Amino acid sequence: MTFRYGPHADPVLAGFDLDVPAGDHLVIVGASGIGKSTLAALIAGVLRPQAGTVRVGGLPVAGASPAALADRRVLIPQEAYVFTGTVRENLTYLCPDLPDAAIDRAAARLGLAALLARLGGLDAHVRPVDLSAGERQQVALLRAWLSPAPLVILDEATCHLDPAAEARLEEAFADRPGTLVVVAHRVSSALRARRVLLLDGHTALLDSHPGLLARSAAYRELVGYGEQGATPVRSTPTPGRSAPLRAGSALPSSP
Ligand SMILES: Nc1ncnc2c1ncn2[C@@H]1O[C@H](COP(=O)(O)OP(=O)(O)O)[C@@H](O)[C@H]1O
Ligand SMILES: [Mg+2]
């Protein structure tokens, strides 16, 4: 497929071809502004390519009804939204009539039972402004978990959470039956992936994390060569937080 935002804009993706098999755990990495969110939105059918076709579970997403799309995929963007209503409404609008016991089980599975208690339980009313960005993300993640969609797309959907919470949630989603596509906010996400897609503006490389380390200088730079990618990229001096993925930032050069 080929996609550009405007008729005279450079394409974000040109002649791009990707097959994500059912059950895959794919992590997308690349510099800020390279096209990761655009790709996530194209997969989800939120954006339409000018050329080519996106299919999810065999269904072309262009022209699919919102209900048909919701049955197949759920996309959590970087700034997750919560709407004014009860906690239950916020969690179950992709799967109405879900019994409370199922919500509670899922919350426990994701380590979010304490969050639900803090919000006042399933009957409590919430307004978006009452929640922190991290709390909104956790509500959205639980909502995605409960949705019937076999494909979950997380676009830096854990960026307001600490690395431990991010790891716990990503590992849970990797266990969820179906397919997981994660736009990475931290290098550690790539270490958990079955496959990693590197977008660098000219090419797209698809391989395992060790495979990309061996093949791609751009990837080594992105993850910090010499650290085996085990430590987060050290480019943002925010204490206690892993830095986001960002190519071209000051990284230790290879030994
Ligand atoms: N709504 C939009 N309108 C026009 N250009 C956009 C829009 N969203 C993103 N872009 C541009 O498309 C490119 C890819 O953006 P994006 O997919 O958000 O990158 P990433 O998620 O990798 O940071 C960037 O150059 C960005 O400025
Ligand atoms: Mg993005």
Output the pLDDT for position 234: 34
CA 177 to chain centre: 16
Query: What lines the ligand 1 site, CB under 6 Å?
Result: 5, 12, 30, 32-38
- Mean pLDDT of the region 130-147: 97
What is the distance in A from the centroid of ligand 2 to the CA of 166?
A: 17
Cα–Cα distance, 29 to 196 (Å, whole number): 7
Question: How far is Cα 201 from Cα 204, in angstroms, rounded to an integer?
Answer: 8
Neighbours of 239 (CB within 10 A): 4
Q: Tell me which of 127 and 230 has the higher pLDDT.
A: 127
**Measured distance CA(240)–CA(163) in Å, rounded:** 9
pTM score: 0.89
Per-residue pLDDT at 179 exceeds 70: yes
The 10s digit of each residue's pLDDT in 197-249 is 999 887 899 999 999 999 999 999 998 864 444 444 333 323 333 344 433 33
**The two structure tokens encoding residue 11:** 């394409």
Tell me the per-residue pLDDT of 196-205, one tens digit each, with 9 for 90 and over: 999 988 789 9
Per residue in 40-69, pLDDT tens?
Answer: 999 999 999 999 999 999 999 999 999 999
The span from the CA of 203 to the CA of 17, in Å, is 11
Q: Is residue 104's pLDDT more than 80?
A: yes
pLDDT (0 to 100) of residue 253: 30
Contact 93, 146 (CB under 8 A): no
User: Atom 17 (ligand 1): residue with closest C-alpha?
Assistant: 35
Give the Cα-Cα-Cα angle 76, 232, 137 (nearest 5 degrees).
Answer: 20
Enumerate the domain spans of the chain.
25-223
Pocket test for ligand 1, best of 29, 32, 37 (most atoms within 8 A of CB): 37
The predicted structure's pLDDT at residue 86: 98
Out of 3.20.20.140, 1.10.1760.20, 3.40.50.1000, 3.40.50.300, which CATH number does the structure's domain 25-223 have?
3.40.50.300
Mean pLDDT along residues 32-37: 96
How far apart are the C-alpha atoms of 11 and 113, rounded to whole Å?
Answer: 43
Confidence band (pLDDT; 50, 70, 90) for 16? very high
pLDDT in tens, 106-115: 999 999 999 9
CA angle (84 as vertex; 174, 108 as ends), nearest 5: 35
Q: Report angle CA 224, 160, 239 to the nearest 5 degrees.
A: 55
DSSP single-letter state for residue 33: T
